[in-house]
Chains A and B, each alone.
Chain A
Amino acid sequence: MTLRNHDVPGVNAGVANSATAIGTPALRVSEVRCSFGGNQAVRGVTFDVTTGSFVGLIGPNGAGKSTLIDCISGRNSAYQGQVFALGNEITRLPMYKVARAGIVRNFQVARPFKKLTVLSNLMYGPRGQVGERLERALIGGWRAQENELLERARASMDVFGLGPEENNYGSELSGGQERLVELCRAVMSQPRVLLLDEPFAGVSPVNRKRLADRLKALVTEDGMTILMVEHRLEWVERLCSRILVMAEGSVILDGTMQEVRSNARVIEAYLGPSPE
């Protein structure tokens, strides 16, 4: 069964939203700068991400990739510059407002809700649940939507073999399972743009392929936009049509994997300057 984003009435609209103007980038980052003390982690980064594309963000450790993701997602609001999502400015908005604008992320260290079960974790994903409103919680009328979400959640778990873990707490999972639960939860929210920070870290080899296939399907079939930070270049090459390379807080290359492999600056960023 393909992991699709069913258009659940009353929850989120389908990710291929016709209201998105043709040509409007899904994500626009403009001159974003971020410093920690005296260290400039992100230096004037500017790029657009086209709607329905899968973009990789790579670079050596300390390049500023995760910091950039934190800025875009609103986790870190102490930055300069501007960020736009689907044409709407989200600069320095708190994380929950950025998520409501359609940008959802995972975390570099997976963060499932530890004292909620796997199934409860996934059921929390979708926004706009009528049962989260106080009057509906008291009066009722949320069970039909809950049942639809339950189907989606279980289908999502089954893709990655998480079905047997359905009633286990988030604290009882392996590292790879935590990662998958967090990702499935994020996808359940039907974001327009998905920010992924090392999604393959800790995931078992068999699930890596499944995850790669699912992420690809989200882009090609559901029109989702993905910006993925990843160190495993084989997955970046396999999934991403475009790659941004960061080093020392700046984007040093924006191109294809072939261009990345042959670029001297990229090689120097990873391997250091050649001894002269």
Chain B
Amino acid sequence: MSGIEYYASTILIFTFINAIAALGFNLQIGYAGIVNLAILVLFAVGGYMTGIAGLQPPPNDGFTHYIGGFGWAFPWDLGFGVVCAGGVSVLLGFVALRRLRTDYLALSLVAILQGLQVVVVSDRLLFNGTTGLVNIPVPGIDQLTPDQFQWAFAAISLVALIATYLIIARVTSSPLGRAIKAVREDEEAAASLGRDPWMFKLVAFVIGGCAAGLAGGLTALYATGWSPAAWLTPESLLLLTAVIVGGRGRNIGAILGAFIVYGLVAQAANLIPPGDLTARLPEIQTILLGTLLLVFLWFRPEGVLPETKEKFPPRGRAPMTMGSNAGPLGGSAVSASTERQG
């Protein structure tokens, strides 16, 4: 594999992984209207928990400390990371979503993010402090050549992306998705029709959190490590830009946004010829992303692929019920419904 191929495959892997996180973030912010600026907490939980599930117990070297160390093989370590991210999402949902709205919710989530970063860095016994977790076992690293490993991990990431998309798309295209959007639009009106707005926001929050945890776990596996430097607050800007640019409230838009932001814009800084600006690449990257975000917010806030209207069968067409010969007035549909409900 040439250097260019290795670089391209690495970008592809990170783009797939961040598309997974963007899907989760889009469900929270685009569909449910929850500005979750603590999304990186869930990303980090996925990374850390995948790591401690896959690693062996910490050695008695006096330097390395972390909880867990279960020695689980892939994909159980990754699954553990996803479940833990979901659990933390539930906790955050109880703490922040229950009582807080809009600006106060966003601020409280930022505060939680900052606080947890401080805790994790300060307490070496949890996740090894600033050093973080290293040598996280990676599936196939010993059995495959480096080239094969690259493409195998790209395939794993792509499968995970497709699975995440299918799950989230099932939710958003169902009455549950409609209810989540209704709560986003007007919580009080939604409550006046018998729905508890918090429950629907929590569902979106937790599913989105699991997606972020999956992305974090995959990142930890690919990088064979995880540290606090991996979840700096500016990473939230990347995700936010991806969702805004791609299109809020549109799953394909979130994926497209991830490709645009991670696959193109974030790499554009790397096209700068070596020279005085080379040391400034991270800042240049941030400026490019911020500029892109502002341009879209000013001129195309709906994103490249805007949210679409819910689709229903057109009038006059027989309802699409499996196993029924329902006509337009739905006589048989009642029977089919009874059969399903019974």
Contacts and interface: CB of A to CB of B under 8 A. Distances in A.
B90 to A, nearest CB: 13
Contacts of B186: 111, 113-114
A128 B175 CA distance: 11
B181 A123 contact: no
A144 B176 contact: no
Contacts of B330: 147-148, 151
Interface string A104-147: 11010001111111011001110101111110111001111111
A47 interface: no
B189 A107 contact: yes
B114 interface: no
B271 interface: no
A10 B330 CA distance: 16
Contacts of A160: none
Most chain B CB neighbours (cut-off 10 Å) among A104, A137, A186: A137
Interface string A151-190: 1001000000001000101100000000000100110010
A8 B203 CA distance: 26
Contacts of A236: none
Contacts of A129: 175, 179
Contacts of A113: 181-182, 185-186, 189-190
A150 interface: yes
Interface in B305-342: 307, 309-310, 312-313, 315, 319-322, 324, 326, 328-330, 333-334, 336-338, 340-341
Contacts of B191: 94-96, 99
Given A95-B192, A96-B195, A116-B185, A123 B338 contact: no
B196 interface: yes
B313 A167 contact: no
Interface residues of B, number: 47
Given A137-B177, A142-B175, A147 B194 contact: no
A96 B194 contact: yes
A37 to B, nearest CB: 22
A148 B333 contact: yes
B180 to A, nearest CB: 9
B182 A124 contact: yes
B78 to A, nearest CB: 20
Contact of A10 (B181, B182, B337): B337
B319 A147 contact: yes
A125 B195 CA distance: 10
A105 to B, nearest CB: 6
B229 interface: no
B333 A147 contact: yes
Interface of B: 167, 170-171, 174-179, 181-182, 185-186, 188-197, 200, 203, 307, 309-310, 312-313, 315, 319-322, 324, 326, 328-330, 333-334, 336-338, 340-341
Interface of A: 8-10, 73, 75, 94-96, 99-100, 104-105, 107, 111-117, 119-120, 123-125, 127, 129-134, 136-138, 141-148, 150-151, 154, 163, 167, 169-170, 182, 185-186, 189
26 contacts: A9-B341, A75-B192, A104-B192, A107-B189, A113-B186, A113-B189, A114-B185, A116-B182, A116-B310, A125-B193, A127-B195, A130-B341, A134-B171, A136-B174, A142-B175, A143-B320, A143-B321, A143-B322, A144-B321, A144-B324, A148-B330, A148-B334, A163-B315, A167-B309, A189-B193, A189-B194
Given A123-B310, A151-B329, A154-B315, 13 more contacts: A8-B337, A9-B334, A96-B191, A96-B196, A114-B185, A115-B181, A116-B185, A123-B312, A143-B320, A144-B333, A144-B337, A144-B340, A151-B319
